[in-house]
Amino acid sequence: MNITAKTKICLVIGDPIKYSLSPQMHNAGYKALGIDDQFIFVASHVNISEMEDFIKGARAMKIRGVSLTMPHKLEVLKYLDEIDPVAKKIGAVNTIINEANILKGYNTDWLGVVKPLEMITNLTGKHVALIGAGGAARAAVYGFVKKGAKVTIFNRTIKKAKELAEEFGCSYASLDELEKVKVLDIIFNATSVGLHSEENQTPLPKKYITNKHIVFDAIYSSFETRLLQEAKEKGAKTIHGLKMFLYQGTEQFKLYTGHEAPSDIMKKVLIGNIKTI
């Protein structure tokens, strides 16, 4: 480590935070580019009721960049000086940049959704089944619509699906209508079904998955979710939530440092660490 008095601090905040892989991922990138004397990335457990104090502290300490994870992405909006138009449209901020003590909020989650997909398909004209209507779904629907895909939002609480669909000019349906996904191209799970205590759950019955689908699960866990396992069994192409995490992170890296992120190295670090969670 080459930390000096000139080293700039970036950090991730969340509640909980101890499982975050952002420090390992960003620090590996700094080291790979030989800029680990200029930047260091740490993590801090910040409770949602402490957000105002955190922002005051970040200003006072001239923190360079902040990554935000659950439950902070909405709460932070009211404390920022500026919000990038994309983050405003998505309605959530996962990145703060401090430029001359002006704190500006960005959202890079949508790039974490579209980048891995664009590596294997062209999104224009594709029909996406988006399951979920929470924060991750908001970033996803923004990305899909921007890239010219057609989206149908399926959600447990139909009112939320309707509101999100109307805001972005999409269709919506209830979870009872999931059979409709059979004829769609891409399935994106933006629910928490399949995470931790629900490890053996899936948001979508296996019988609706075909070998023509691309199935992307936003959940990034040390294991493969049941949804992805079943999609593989059906011969579908699959994308692990780790890729979403990686590419939202590589965009943050660029905002923090001004350098293109060494994504291969950052990916290797994530894969290496995920086994230890």
What does the binding site for ligand NAP look like in residue numbers (CB under 6 A)?
70, 109, 112, 132-137, 155-157, 160, 190-193, 195, 218-220, 241, 244-245, 248
CB of 152 to ligand NAP, least distance (A): 14
Measure CA of the first residue to CA of the last residue in the chain; give whole Å: 25
Query: How far apart, in whole angstroms, are the C-alpha atoms of residue 219 and residue 222?
Result: 10
Closer to ligand NAP at the Cβ: 54 or 172? 172
Residues ≥6 apart with Cβ < 8 Å to 180 = 129, 152, 173
Query: How far apart, in whole angstroms, are the C-alpha atoms of residue 173 and residue 277?
Result: 35
CB of 60 to ligand NAP, least distance (A): 29
CA 242 to chain centre: 9
Query: How far apart, in whole angstroms, are the C-alpha atoms of residue 162 and residue 157?
Result: 9
Which residues are part of the catalytic machinery? 73
CB of 232 to ligand NAP, least distance (A): 18
Query: How far apart, in whole angstroms, are the C-alpha atoms of residue 163 and residue 146?
Result: 18
Closer to ligand NAP at the Cβ: 22 or 27? 22
Closer to ligand NAP at the Cβ: 29 or 112? 112
CB of 102 to ligand NAP, least distance (A): 26
Closer to ligand NAP at the Cβ: 28 or 244? 244
Closer to ligand NAP at the Cβ: 103 or 193? 193
Q: Which residue is nearest to ligand NAP (CB)?
A: 134
CB of 219 to ligand NAP, least distance (A): 4
